[in-house]
Amino acid sequence: MSTFDIVDGLDKAGVKRDNHPKWYPPTNSDGVGLMVRNSLTETLEPFAPRNGRQVKWYTCGPTVYDASHMGHARAYLTFDILRRIMEDYFGYSVQYQMNITDIDDKIIKRARVNKLVDDYKASLGTGATAFTELQAFVSQAVDKAETSLIAKIAALSAPAENISSRAATEREEKLKESELKRDQLQGTKVKIAAATKASDFNGLFDAATGVVGELLDSLKGHTITDHSIFDEHSRKFERMFFEDCQKLGIREPDVVTRVTEYVPQVVDFIKKIESNGFAYKGETSVFFDTEAFTAAGYSYAKLKGGADKNTSEEEMAEGEGTLSKGVTGEKKSANDFALWKFSKPGEPSWPSPWGEGRPGWHIECSVMASDILGDNMDIHGGGWDLKFPHHDNECAQSEAHFCQHQWVNYFFHCGHLHIKGLKMSKSLKNFITIRQALGDELGVSPRIMRLLFLAFPWDKQMNFGDDSLKEAAERDRVLRAFFGSIDVALRKDYYGSTQGFNQADRALNAKWVEVEQRVHSALQQNFDTPSVIIALFELVAHTNQYLLSDDRVSGTLVRKVATYITKILRVFGVIQGSDAIGYVASSDSRLAPALDVFTRFRDEVRSKAKEVQQMPAFLPLCDAIRDEWLIPAGVRLEDKPGGGATTWKVDEPELLQKESDARKAALISDRLKKIQNQIETKRKVVVKWEQYVAPPTDLFRSETEKYSAFDESGIPTKDAKGEDVGASTVKKLKKEQDKYATSHNELAAKGGVEWLREQRQELADLEAQLSA
Are residues 293 and 396 in contact, defined by beta-carbon separation less than 8 angstroms?
yes
d(CA 297, CA 396): 12
Give the pLDDT score at 21. 46
Are residues 666 and 501 in contact, defined by beta-carbon separation less than 8 angstroms?
no
Are residues 7 and 298 in contact, defined by beta-carbon separation less than 8 angstroms?
yes
Half-sphere exposure at residue 469, Cβ-oriented, CA atoms within 13 angstroms: 13
Number of other residues whose CB lies within 10 A of the CB of residue 525: 15
Paired sense of beta strands 285-288 and 279-281, if any: antiparallel
What tens digit of pLDDT does each residue of 402-461 get? 999 999 999 999 998 987 556 676 555 567 899 999 988 788 999 999 999 999 999 999
Beta bridge partner(s), residue 35: 46, 525
Give the pLDDT score at 577. 76
Sign of CA dihedral 56, 57, 60, 61: negative
Kindly state which CATH superfamily the domain 451-571 is placed in. Isoleucyl-tRNA Synthetase; Domain 1 (1.10.730.10)
What tens digit of pLDDT does each residue of 87-109 get? 999 999 999 999 999 999 999 99
What tens digit of pLDDT does each residue of 528-540 get? 999 999 999 999 9
Give the pLDDT score at 440. 80
Give the pLDDT score at 3. 37
**Which residues does the chain have with pLDDT short of 50?**
1-27, 307-309
Give the pLDDT score at 211. 96
Nearest to 100 by CA among 237, 229, 225, 227: 237
Helix (H, G, I), strand (E, B) or coil at 749: helix
Give the pLDDT score at 429. 59
Q: For residue 255, report the phi and psi dihedrals to the nearest 5 degrees.
A: -140, 130
Give the pLDDT score at 312. 55
Where do the domains of the chain lie? 1-431, 451-571, 591-651, 670-771
Which CATH number applies to 1-431?
3.40.50.620
Give the pLDDT score at 209. 95
Q: Looking at the chain, how many residues does it have?
A: 772
pTM to 2 decimal places: 0.77
Amino acid at 680: E
